[in-house]
Amino acid sequence: MQIEKYKIDEINQQDLAKHKRRFEFVAADVANLDSVMQKLGNFNIAIPSWALGTGGTRFGRFSGGGEPRNLEEKIEDVGVIHALNRSSNSISLHIPWDIPENAASIKALAAQLGLHFDAVNSNTFQDQPNQKLSYKYGSLHHVDKAVRKQAIEHNIEVIKYGVQLDSKALSVWLSDGSNFPGQLNFRRAFQNTQESLQGIYDALPDDWKMWIEYKPYEPNFYSTTIGDWGQSYLLASKLGAKASTLVDLGHHLQGANIEQIVSILLMEGKLAGFHFNDSKYGDDDLTVGSINPYQLFLIFNELVEGMDARGMNHATAIGWMIDASHNVKDPVEDLLQSVQAIKIAYAQALLVDKNALVTAQNNNDVTTAQEILQAAYRTDVRPLISEASLLAGGALDPVGTYRSLNVRANLIKERGTKTVATGL
Ligand code: RM4
Ligand code: MN
Ligand code: MN
């Protein structure tokens, strides 16, 4: 299903006077308003193909109605999201959950909706039907060379699909690890992983990147072979300039200072980008900004500062993607909320008075430094986000508009109540 623009305009019209009042109120105090609005307008966040169906846990999965039945319908759902927020102009595919059987027609459908293809993701954390060798004890780190070879070949195949779609990056997340002390020789596992990644790296096209994700635990509960940013960074450094470290917010132990990790990776030119989500306990894959919006702001504060220090284009220099999918919300609403939360944190970070902060830091004026950050964080920037959306042809209120247009009810009518999307 596609949303006609005039319908969005009609709904915008109802709230326009209120919006203008709120926008003028906040805009009056924004020093660099034009540049902030331009940056917000350029900012897009990729949608993962595996998050368009209802997510599950190991205890069950409660499918919502109207889930996309195939890749085409997933692309249509991203089209709905992008039509509403004008900030989600790409989709990231997980292979083999979403194999593009006919790349030309998939690309044409995406282009018609104003979308392109972000990084492609490989999957060696599950066994597929008819797969020769099992990944039960890992993939790229496996003790058996034949299993490693199979996993390398899978990644190379994923690159080939990506090339057909004009993707420019491969993200690799490994579930490889161990469940019990003694199960694994850490050094050999790491060396095997490095050698396997090298095999994949050598197959990357010239203009491609390899993004290496880390995760401390789950599905393995004693060790993970790429368990933290240090191990990912070490691999990325050994591999070369095309490899860098992907930060998934849910992949940290409690209390980890993610904003500091981000700052150091950026400084070294090794920050690949993000998988955004939120969590309270672990890799909870909750809606971005739903638990800890202040942390999200602090991360964006480091991003904006670090990218400006290196003269990087905020919108395009690194990968921006959501990686979340939970079991109770309408996935499209969840993704719309996530994109809004990301844009809010980004806008707040753009409002930080950088010169004043540098002065406070140089004077060891801790109190003022905190006041400066919190002044930006406590600014209600939502009218700026709405204005950017309006200027780009989107909805002032994407979630409200999605509801007013009864999109889910229409999808259920079109697809049925019992559909189940591939993914988590
Ligand atoms: C993992 C990790 C990967 C994603 C899978 C589905 O926890 O975050 O990025 O590919 O989930
Ligand atoms: Mn991830
Ligand atoms: Mn994850």
CA 353 / ligand 2 centre spacing (Å): 32
424 lines ligand 1 (CB under 6 A): yes
How many angstroms separate the CA atoms of 178 and 289, rounded?
32
Cα separations (Å) of 199 from 64, 93, 152, 424?
41, 22, 7, 28
CA 321 / ligand 2 centre spacing (Å): 9
CA 368 / ligand 2 centre spacing (Å): 36
Best of 98, 218, 275, 322 for a ligand 1 pocket test (most atoms within 8 Å of beta carbon): 275
- Could you report the per-residue pLDDT of 163-214, keeping only the tens digit for each? 999 999 999 999 999 999 999 999 999 999 999 999 999 999 999 999 999 9
**Positions of the chain with pLDDT under 70:** none
Which pTM was predicted? 0.98
Identify the pLDDT of residue 55: 87
Best of 173, 215, 251 for a ligand 1 pocket test (most atoms within 8 Å of beta carbon): 173
- 332 close to 339: Cβ distance less than 8 angstroms: no
CA 323 / ligand 2 centre spacing (Å): 5
Nearest CA owner, ligand 1 atom 7:
283
- Which ligand gives the minimal distance to the CA of 218? 1
Best of 213, 218, 274, 276 for a ligand 1 pocket test (most atoms within 8 Å of beta carbon): 213
248 lines ligand 1 (CB under 6 A): yes
Contacts (Cβ under 8 Å, ≥6 apart) of 195 = 148
Nearest CA owner, ligand 1 atom 9:
173
CA 166 / ligand 1 centre spacing (Å): 22
